[in-house]
Structure 1
């Protein structure tokens, strides 16, 4: 048993799971809280015993991960050989359920739409996205041109105002380097 104050104190079968197992196995029997606590402690000790033995088996076989075979061998070596067939059937059931979950997690299969149709829909989405991008780029280009036209219009108005006030500025020379070279 784990000594008080160690981190192992928190390791036990969850209370809800234990209560569910008791209710399923003994539906018409009332079990006191002290008895439930004793059952929980026994379960925890059994799990520690089996996992410790399975770990020893794993180390002897020079493996780093405890496999179901190590657990079954640990059960047998600790004198629980009578439970091996039940454990094997539960293991097969778990493997079957896990395989079904893996297959069910494939979202494409769950849609019920053929892959060809999904690819066609994807291409339509890409085409729509390209069209929308082209429209956005055209709008941005139009806005840029409008801004440039407005800027040119503003410069033209400023020049006209300056001419109207009698302040005529000559146009700036295009290239000073050419004028001084001649």
Structure 2
């Protein structure tokens, strides 16, 4: 855990990676190994601490360049300064993939907007479909209730 003197002091339980996500990544990375709960927790703390240190260093790179917003280049510069420059090419490739996925999502949203259907009409169509689904559900429940009543009537007539 971080010491109070450090500039990025925090409570680890307030600012940490989700356990489920980290456990999934650990299982994917080491499928044949069983890892003790304490070891998993230590890995989570180390990962969280690494992210905080990387963020602090990226903030420093950003400030030294006179910028107010941290960009991917600042993060890569921070990784270099932390001694992780060997990962730079892989990270740049991942960053490029992320940019492409984001661009595809934007294009998909624009296609929906450019279909010529006003937002209000799309909302109205959605509400109509919800109402139709609700009506079908009510009909199914009504039919089920009638069936249950018939079965109860048959059981009563057989039993008494």
With the shorter chain as reference, the TM-score category is 0.5 to 0.7
1:95 aligns with one of 80, 87, 99: 99
Separation (CA, whole Å) in 2 of partners of 1:8 and 1:97: 34
Separation (CA, whole Å) in 1 of partners of 2:49 and 2:107: 36
Alignment CA distance shift 1:33-1:52 (3 Å)? same
- Corresponding residue of 1:2: 2
Q: CA deviation at 1:105?
A: 2.1
- Corresponding residue of 1:74: 78
Q: 1:37-56 residue pairs with structure 2 within 5 A?
A: 37-56=41-60
Q: CA deviation at 1:87?
A: 0.8
**Residue segments in structure 2 that go unaligned for 5+ positions in a row:** 122-160
- Corresponding residue of 1:15: 19
Comparing both chains, which one has the higher relative contact order based on Cα–Cα distances under 8 Å and sequence gaps of 6 or more? Answer: 2
* TM-score of the two chains, using structure 2 as the length reference: 0.64
Q: CA deviation at 1:30?
A: 1.2
Higher radius of gyration, 1 or 2: 1
Q: CA deviation at 1:108?
A: 3.8
CA RMSD across the alignment: 2.1
Separation (CA, whole Å) in 2 of partners of 1:25 and 1:47: 19
Aligned length: 113
Provide runs of 4+ in structure 1 moved above 2 Å.
1-4, 6-9
SS at match of 2:11: helix
Q: 1:58-137 residue pairs with structure 2 within 5 A?
A: 58-106=62-110, 107-108=112-113, 115=116
Q: CA deviation at 1:101?
A: 1.3
Separation (CA, whole Å) in 1 of partners of 2:108 and 2:30: 34
SS at match of 1:8: coil
**Residue segments in structure 1 that go unaligned for 5+ positions in a row:** 123-182
- Corresponding residue of 1:36: 40
